[in-house]
Structure 1
């Protein structure tokens, strides 16, 4: 009975956290987007790196949130659940900021061209079975994650998220080099730093599970 109560409290904490992330995203979006107008060039063009990064990273982040919520229900390991919670809340918040910028700039949220075209990668074909951009999981991989439990779910999640983060670091580094809005570049720099740190953590967690 005690375990059941603890599990319900944990589920409630995730739900509350998700709501707080949305609220925080709205507030931070307004503040940061307002600061971006200080660059003096007006809203970026729809074909710009700024707009392309905002659209593509919003899609990339959405899958990370989805994977994190899947593994939450597939394991009771507190360390993995805590990592998944942090990734889900951080990336949901950042996704709200990116979509808020597109709203502020009055630009469409749906990519108008090929994914990552703004990075000169428009001729790179998408991955098979739903992997839209480098690092993203396929539909089969997501379905498999939803079927596994315990250590098997933890290992697959850590592997998929490590690959996902590497793709995210690659894309965020592209924005650092190409984006014209200073606030967006700072956000991208923060993504690189935090995701590289989480990659190191996930390597340690995989090692503890005797998995590569």
Structure 2
């Protein structure tokens, strides 16, 4: 088998693994949620869980974060092809696998709620201004809201540009630079872009932790904050080893 054939096989196997992660995560999410709802109704201990409204924070976060995560997966696979550094390749694969899995969960919830994967006629991040109706935050605990007024998108939709639809997302121009970069240059650019990406994602996840009402989704959002903050620290260290730093 030639080097080219081995490379193609590796890409296919890696891509298939992530695709299967999305499939199984979505299926498990839907099955678990349905079983949970059935158990509650059978025992009579709680009323059936409410379906979030289309304009709720629960729906908005699931829709927006699925898009946000997809770009992280894309960037991670780009850098795996642009460097031979095993530390960066392994780190990138971990991010791709984790975020593909979480994306599958978010899309699974939207399927369960019978809501569209993309909010038509609504700007990304608009849900961070608050919501109403089933699944909105009115009348619910807002104890985690402190400091949200300074978040990107809070109080209005994010102004997208050059393919960057939400805070932290790389632009088309930046993705093009990453695809053309090699070796150390690709590693540094990836780590800088992913640092920005995580910062935007953390703000979004904190928004859901405050505004979402679906317990499992709030739990996932809090887990994202903790995991991505840890990865921010790791990326800062990796950049320092390469004589660089996160972008200002």
**Match for residue 124 of structure 2?**
115
- 3-state SS of the aligned residue for 1:211? coil
TM (normalized to structure 1)? 0.91
* CA-based RMSD: 2.2
**Match for residue 137 of structure 1?**
170
Q: Tell me how far 1:18 sits from its aligned partner.
A: 1.9
2:58–2:212 CA contact under 8 A, matched in 1 = yes
Distance 1:137 1:19 in 2: 22
**Match for residue 18 of structure 1?**
18
Q: Tell me how far 1:111 sits from its aligned partner.
A: 1.8
Change (3 A) 1:68 1:203: same
1:78 and 2:72 correspond: no
- 3-state SS of the aligned residue for 2:82? coil
Q: Tell me how far 1:128 sits from its aligned partner.
A: 2.3
- 3-state SS of the aligned residue for 1:42? coil
**Match for residue 195 of structure 2?**
162
1:52 and 2:60 correspond: yes
Q: Which has the larger radius of gyration?
A: 2
**Match for residue 202 of structure 1?**
235
TM (normalized to structure 2)? 0.78
1:136-194: per-residue Cα shift (whole Å, max 9, x none)? 00000001000000000000000000000000000000000010000000010111111
Change (3 A) 1:154 1:68: same
Unaligned runs of 5+ in 1: none
Q: Which has the higher helix share?
A: 1
Higher deviation after alignment, 142-151 or 5-14: 5-14
